[in-house]
Amino acid sequence: MQANFEATLEYAQSQDQVDFLYPFRERFLFPQHNGKDVYYFCGNSLGLQPKSVSYLMNQELEDWAKYGVEGHFQARNPWFSYHHNFSESLAKIVGANKEEVVAMNTLTVNLHLLMLSFYRPEKGRYKILMEAGAFPSDQYAMETQVRMYGYDPEDAIIEMKPREGAHIIEEEDILAAIQEAGDSLAVVMFGGVNYYTGQFFDLKRITDAAHRVGAYAGFDLAHAVGNVPLQLHDWNVDFACWCSYKYLNSGPGGVAGAFVHEHHGNNPKTFRLAGWWGNEEKGRFKMEKGFTPQKGAASWQMSNAPVFNMVAHRASLDIYDKAGIPALREKSLRMTAYMEYLLKDISHLPFTIITPAESNRRGCQLSMLFAERGREVFDKLTEAGVIADWREPNVIRIAPVPLYNTYEDCYRFYEVLKEME
Ligand SMILES: *Cc1c(COP(=O)(O)O)cnc(C)c1O
């Protein structure tokens, strides 16, 4: 793939000219630096705002003004069934049936709710396997889940670490650890793509290994959703959750998502904490005693849809529907390889790329680990109008996002680094 890359502006611009996704950039608002769009490489942390959001937001405000409570049924996008507007798009993005996905709550809340269904420790089977150094929210969530049932996290949580001196986790080690935990393992709860290194795990292999020992497999897809191709249904993943404000561009604190495999979601015996919005729709307003879960992941909903919070999500998924995951992945593979090619040409700054080099083991993020001067380089990038992401103690993460980044952006980033003393 790298054979014909060139580290020149002309080459980068020529790639943009033949990129059929290039016009999608026009659909987003870019922060400004000295009167120009910034070079934005932070879509892994907070995606940009689609231009259509303010118009669509205004439409809901108008409908609220015009209809009041009648808006539940009269609004142009009736609020009663507003969450249905996401099923089809989300199903395509995560590789699921429509009934297996739902947009609701926020990520960590969904993680807890799904653990309440899938982490049901019993005598002997009570352990959770996760990444060491997982995103802090996930660590806190797992610790408090095991404590809730009276276990000691030191004993009940198995943490997978990279080997001595390595940065990424060997998949063989994960599979071996699952095997070794055997009957004691209740749930494997892993990130889909590690937030720090950008490593994309083989979710199918991990799921198969978990099932072989009788455990469930669930994934936090915060850095995977909208970034890498997923087939949650076919891989037999039991549950998953994600946020929508990173690659999915749905705004800070935007509504999150959840996946529950139909084996569980369509089984009324699967335990779930209930609220009225998870009840069968036809019985919802009867106000009767007794919870009857509707089919699928939607039965995990508790409350009525936070419509204003969901508007940006809908705007963003419209764009995903048009671009499509296969085309996005194709561009992402190529553009990330180009960025990597450029970075390898920089020899005067003390960094190494710790993200896996194999394209099927990463999304678009590249993590640059600095031996020294990391923070200084980051600050100089910021001064030059580049928005990247700094992670303590010494990593700069950059994500050339296929929806709105360009080959020229990658080249400009390289140019700033190249000219740095
Ligand atoms: C971004 C991220 C979160 C953030 O959780 P919220 O509940 O959305 O605040 C949690 N876990 C992972 C792995 C993340 O990348």
Q: Give per-residue pLDDT as tens, 187-211.
A: 999 999 999 999 999 999 999 999 9
- What is the CA 164 to chain-centroid distance, rounded? 28
Give the mean pLDDT of 108-133: 97
pLDDT confidence of residue 165 = 93
Residue pair 122/183 in contact (Cβ under 8 Å)? The answer is: no
Residue 287 has pLDDT above 90, yes or no: no
> How many angstroms separate the Cα of 24 from the Cα of each of 7, 51, 252, 257, 405?
24, 11, 21, 24, 9
pLDDT confidence of residue 3 = 61
| All domains of the chain in start order, with CATH | 9-51+324-418 (3.90.1150.10), 83-304 (3.40.640.10)
Residue pair 346/417 in contact (Cβ under 8 Å)? The answer is: yes
Residue pair 353/196 in contact (Cβ under 8 Å)? The answer is: no
pLDDT confidence of residue 286 = 78
Residue pair 296/99 in contact (Cβ under 8 Å)? The answer is: yes
Residue 2 has pLDDT above 80, yes or no: no
Query: Any residues with Cβ below 6 Å from ligand 1, and which?
Result: 106-108, 135, 137-138, 191, 195, 220, 222-223, 243
Query: Is pTM, for the whole model, over 0.85?
Result: yes
Query: What percent of the chain has pLDDT above 70?
Result: 99
Give the mean pLDDT of 233-246: 98
Q: Which atom of ligand 1 is nearest to the CA of 223?
A: 15
Mutate to test the pocket of ligand 1, among 42, 45, 105, 108 (most ligand atoms within 8 A of CB): 108
Q: Collapsing DSSP states into helix, strand and coil, what is residue 353?
A: strand
Ligand 1 centroid to residue 349 C-alpha, Å? 31
Residue 1 has pLDDT above 60, yes or no: no
Q: What is the pLDDT of residues 337-346, one digit of tens each?
A: 999 999 999 9
pLDDT confidence of residue 270 = 95
Residue 120 has pLDDT above 60, yes or no: yes
Tokens of 100: 């297996």
Residue 55 has pLDDT above 80, yes or no: yes
Give the mean pLDDT of 15-22: 97
Residue 336 has pLDDT above 60, yes or no: yes
Residue located nearest, by CA, to atom 8 of ligand 1: 107
Give the position of tokens 């990463």: 362
Residue 67 has pLDDT above 80, yes or no: yes
Residue 284 has pLDDT above 80, yes or no: no
The Cα 389–Cα 375 span in angstroms is 10
Mutate to test the pocket of ligand 1, among 195, 199, 245, 249 (most ligand atoms within 8 A of CB): 195
Residue pair 364/355 in contact (Cβ under 8 Å)? The answer is: no
